[in-house]
Amino acid sequence: MNEQNTLTHIPVMLQETVMHLHPQRGGNFLDCTFGGGGHSVYLLENFPNITLFAIDRDPECAIRAHALKQSFGHRFQFFNIAFSAMDSLSLPPLDGIFFDFGISSFQLDDSRRGFSFRYSAPLDMRMNPLKGISAHEFLETAHRRQLEEAVRDFGEERYWRKIVDQILSHRGSDVLKYADQFAAFIARNLPANFRRHIHPATRTFQGLRIAVNEELEEIRKALPLAFEYLKPEGRLVTLSFHSLEDRIVKQFFNAKAGKAMHCHEKYNCRPTLAKILTPKPKEPQHEEILVNPRSRSAKLRALEKF
């Protein structure tokens, strides 16, 4: 059996997402990060008066999307593109748009993809393995400043300088080729008395993945495109999983709500184009975290367009 068919996906903050999208009114909705399809399936099954479009740059998603197309016919369409390219689609005005910026369980648990340090797999980490360079190629070719940005800024790793130095001095070696070996390499280069509640390589892996997939730039490009697709009273809902993603969303929402973005600006000096529905981001309930520990860092924000 194909490993992809045996993996499970638990959609994060499903009920909170649905509540803020408000699909009871019907209309057209867009899932910008189809992933495992959990949110899309729930919406299609429970709200028969909606049409759902979905996009994802991972080619593996097309396989799962095909099954939904067989079940829901004209009510569902899938496009295998990055969400930063959504303006290439001819979509109708949308009543709701959803982003889940986290890596999907299918990607993380697939031993072939190199996202997880649990597996002896080539260090790839690309959301779309057919485009760009792998994480291994990035480690071998990136300039020091690019490595520093990945480990220090994107990974928020305290010991970034030591890790970057060691990466540069080990180029051409096997420790940069495979996920499990690279994780062990990172752990060996942290202080022996340093303890964490997470694996020592977690932050470096996060930063490397963000760099390879240009994830933050993708979000910056996609949010304005999504807002343009929304019809009046349409809603934009996002799920972020670390502070860098959440900061971009918060700043974008504040700008659309007319809030000052810089200290020299007067309060509410910008045009008010939307209303923020979540003055503070929503977080998963304790019960959800127990069932799905990967949800623990999630933050949900929602916006309604005027």
Same domain flag for 80 and 220: yes
Where is pLDDT greater, at 110 or 278?
278
Q: How far apart are CA 113 and CA 202, in angstroms?
A: 16
| Beta-sheet strand order (sheet of 50-55) | 76-79, 50-55, 27-31, 94-100, 230-240, 299-305, 274-276
| CATH number of the domain encompassing residue 44 | 3.40.50.150
If asked whether residues 60 and 140 sit together in one domain, one would say no
CATH, residue 122: 1.10.150.170
Nearest by Cα to 101 from 300, 286, 257, 251: 300
Query: Do residues 228 and 256 share a domain?
Result: yes
pLDDT for res 108: 82
CA R_g for the chain: 20
Arithmetic mean of pLDDT over the chain: 92
Neighbouring CB atoms inside 10 A of 108's CB total 15
User: pLDDT band for position 99 (50/70/90)?
Assistant: very high
Q: Which domain holds residue 206?
A: 114-213
Report how many domains make up the chain. Answer: 2
Among the candidates 179, 213, 247, a domain finishes at: 213
Same domain, yes or no: 242 and 203: no
User: Both 152 and 293 in a single domain?
Assistant: no
Task: For residues 35 and 74, state if they share a domain.
Answer: yes
What pLDDT shows up at residue 4?
42
Instruction: Choose among 26, 21, 83, 17: nearest CA to 49.
Output: 26
pLDDT-based confidence at residue 6 (cuts at 50, 70, 90): very low
Residue 15, Cβ density class (10 Å: 0-12 exposed, 13-18 middle, ≥19 buried): exposed
CA distance 223 to 236: 9
| pTM greater than the 0.85 cutoff | yes
Closest-CA residue to 83 (of 255, 282, 223, 244): 223
Q: How far apart are CA 50 and CA 47, in angstroms?
A: 6
Predicted confidence (pLDDT) per residue in 172-229, tens digit: 999 999 999 999 999 999 887 666 678 899 999 999 999 999 999 999 999 999 999 9
Do 197 and 76 belong to one domain?
no
Amino acid occupying residue 146 = Q
Tell me which of 197, 213, 229 is where a domain ends: 213
The pLDDT tens digits for 256-301 are 999 877 655 565 667 999 999 999 999 999 999 999 988 999 999 9
